[in-house]
Amino acid sequence: AGIDVTLICDNTAGMLMQQGKVDAVIVGADRIAANGDTANKIGTYSVAVLAREHGIPFYVAAPASTFDPDIPDGSGIIIEERAAEEVTHGFGRQTAPDGTKVYSPAFDVTPVELITAFITDTGVKPGGRTDQKS
């Protein structure tokens, strides 16, 4: 009764897509703008671009309450930045020289044109992408 899935490290996605080993991508969402642009953890946009390149359906699974009608599109979603120490210090020690500039956004925005459909608690809603393999 279960779905056969394999958990991978995020940087493995492109290689597996290239090898034809990915049937679909399903991600979550932290916020969805009125037009369907979707904010989620950093790296989601990159995976969506890879999925489009390889003709793989890209789904967003989130409660309908994640849609924010007050934000017209992704440009209105505020992107939180993570603390520099999360990048410059790891495993209990400093891993970058003092004064190193850090840019570490917590989220990115995936345009609705890269999304096949939204899977919500109220049903499935179409995204803006129609070119994936069936």
Q: Is residue 32 part of a domain?
A: yes
Q: Is residue 4 part of a domain?
A: no
Q: Which domain covers residue 90, as residue numbers?
A: 10-126
pLDDT per residue as tens digits for the range 4-50: 888 888 889 999 999 999 999 999 999 999 999 999 999 999 999 99
pLDDT for the residue 1: 62
pLDDT for the residue 20: 96
% of the chain residues with pLDDT over 70: 97
CATH of the domain at 60: 3.40.50.10470
Q: What is the pTM of this model?
A: 0.89
Q: Is residue 3 part of a domain?
A: no
Number of Cβ within 10 Å of residue 129's Cβ equals: 18
Q: Is residue 88 part of a domain?
A: yes
Q: Could you tell me which residues come within 8 angstroms of residue 114 by beta carbon, excluding any fewer than 6 positions away?
A: 45, 48, 49, 51, 52, 58, 127, 128, 129
Q: Is residue 131 part of a domain?
A: no
Q: Is residue 2 part of a domain?
A: no
Instruction: Name the domain count of the chain.
Output: 1
pLDDT for the residue 5: 83
23 catalytic residue (yes or no): no
pLDDT for the residue 132: 62
**Mean of per-residue pLDDT scores for the chain:** 94
pLDDT per residue as tens digits for the range 93-118: 999 999 999 999 999 999 999 999 99
- Determine which one of 30, 98, 121, 131 is catalytic: 30
Q: Is residue 5 part of a domain?
A: no
Query: What six digits make up the tokens of 134?
Result: 């069936």
Q: Cα–Cα distance between 23 and 99 in angstroms, integer?
A: 44
pLDDT per residue as tens digits for the range 76-91: 999 999 999 999 998 8
